[in-house]
Amino acid sequence: MENQFYRRKKSPWDFREPLRRLFRNKRFLLALAICVPLGGYGLFGNRGLVSRLRLEQQKTEMEQRLRNAEEETQRLKSQSKALETDRAAIERVAREQHGMVRSGETVYKITPNH
Kindly report, residue by residue over 101-113, the tens digit of the pLDDT.
878 888 777 888 8
Give the Cα separation of 108 and 6 in Å (integer): 102
Q: What is the pLDDT of residue 59?
A: 97
pLDDT tens, 45-56?
A: 888 888 999 999
Amino acid at residue number 27: R
Is residue 49 within 8 Å of 43, Cβ to Cβ? yes
Tell me if the pTM is above 0.85: no
Query: HEC states along 22-62?
Result: HHHCHHHHHHHHHHHHHHHHHHHCCCCHHHHHHHHHHHHHH
